[in-house]
Chain A
């Protein structure tokens, strides 16, 4: 038999055998388990080794080479994070500002009979001993010296200097500052002034008057600068003194974090018939007369 015929016969025989193998599998559904077992057993170690090798290579690639850009990514993300933090802070500031302005507007609407102008705090005092702030409204806006400055929370102080476009405000905590006030419950009147500290004092309340810690202090309107019943502060400490009680008051307005204020555009907000039925503090005979609230 020629070699070519031999190979043809071999081809036919091999194919026939495989066809029979297929037929057997289909008929018995045996799937040739033995051959599969042998083949899988022979090949699987190499597959496993290849898989481990590839896994090692992949890990090295992912954990080292592919991380070369991670530093740059981290820097980019850090910068983006910083920018986002800044943006959030700006938005939070704007939201807080919106709330404050809404409160100011609401307060203005409630006090619509008192002319006032809103101003933004643009600076503070250059000297620590002087407790003043700078606002962005001045004489062009109708502001004059000695006008009252308030927030919806309470009294802030008085305009000490009015310039064309800006004004300087003497805070209630300054030693030179004072406001006509009275106790909200007992209606005892007494001026309140600063001592250069965060707390202000009410100095001319006789020792025998009944005053309690936590009592609210409001404007009396007698200084003819502030309308009456504006919050001034809350009593935090009472000590007996000679001849008057030493009463320390926490200001109602947060004087350390002022951003927007209202300037009362009148020097005489209190009309004659508006005088409250207040009980003036009667200094004892031996004590010096209480000073009047000074309108600078």
Chain B
């Protein structure tokens, strides 16, 4: 049974993937749990943003902007909720909404299955995500936040590298076409 369907845009032929039942909520929840727990034991793991990687992956795979942005909103708000009172609800929500939308939109136009493409896209989305967070903090919350620095650069590279391997794992959650 072929559960995937094709999205035709002009001459391109890009496959849209569906996932096993419960795979998206479980992956999202797992990413949030690990993200909340990992930095407590490994300080350097704070560079990772697993919920962001899940949003990017699902956005690139589902290739539906509405689904992507709603998923980004949900994941972002949950991440805000788990980040304590110093992070207002909506900070990461807005950023991941934008990333979810962009990932879904871009996924509908490009073939994002190649590891190099995934690496570059993840690094780009990480930077966009940080830019939106910084913008929100500076403009809406009047809080100091660097646009970009060496740590964020390292974060972009680390997340992109992790994404290459994580996405291969998440590919296994797809329903066979």
Interface stretch of the complex, out of B85-93, B120-128, B159-167 = B85-93
Would A21 and B81 count as touching, CB distance under 8 A?
no
Q: How far is the CA of A26 from the CA of B32 in the complex (A)?
A: 25
A14 and B36 contacting across the interface, CB-CB below 8 Å = no
Q: How far is the CA of A50 from the CA of B18 in the complex (A)?
A: 28
Assess A14 versus B73: contact at CB under 8 Å? Given A21-B89, A25-B89, A35-B89.
Answer: yes
Contact indicator B37/A50 (Cβ below 8 Å): yes
B152 to chain A, nearest CB (A): 22
Contact A39 B73 (CB under 8 A): no
Q: What is the bound-complex CA distance between A6 and B104, given in angstroms?
A: 14
- The answer to whether A18 and B81 touch across the interface, beta carbons within 8 angstroms, is no
Interface-lining segment among A40-48, A66-74, A94-102:
A40-48
- CB proximity of A101 to chain B, nearest CB, Å: 60
Which residues of chain B are within 8 angstroms of A14 by Cβ–Cβ distance?
69-70, 73, 97
B29 lies within 8 A of A43 (CB): yes
Q: Residue B66 at the A interface, CB < 8 A? A: yes
- A65 at interface by CB-CB < 8 Å: no
Could you tell me if A50 and B34 are in contact, using CB atoms closer than 8 angstroms? yes
A42 to B94, CA, bound (A): 21
Q: B140 → chain A, closest Cβ, in Å?
A: 5
Does the CB pair A25–B88 fall under 8 Å?
A: yes
- The complex places the Cα of A26 from the Cα of B82 at a distance, in Å, of 18
Determine if A7 is an interface residue (Cβ-Cβ < 8 Å). yes
Write the residues of chain A forming the contact surface with B, with a CB cutoff of 8 angstroms: 4, 6-8, 10-11, 14-15, 18-19, 21-23, 25-26, 31-32, 35-36, 38-40, 42-43, 46-47, 50-51, 54
* A22-B136, A32-B88 known, 7 other contacts, Cβ within 8 Å: A7-B105, A10-B70, A18-B77, A18-B90, A18-B94, A22-B140, A39-B78
| A–B pairs, 11, beta carbons within 8 Å | A4-B65, A11-B97, A18-B97, A31-B85, A36-B89, A39-B81, A40-B82, A43-B32, A46-B30, A50-B33, A54-B41
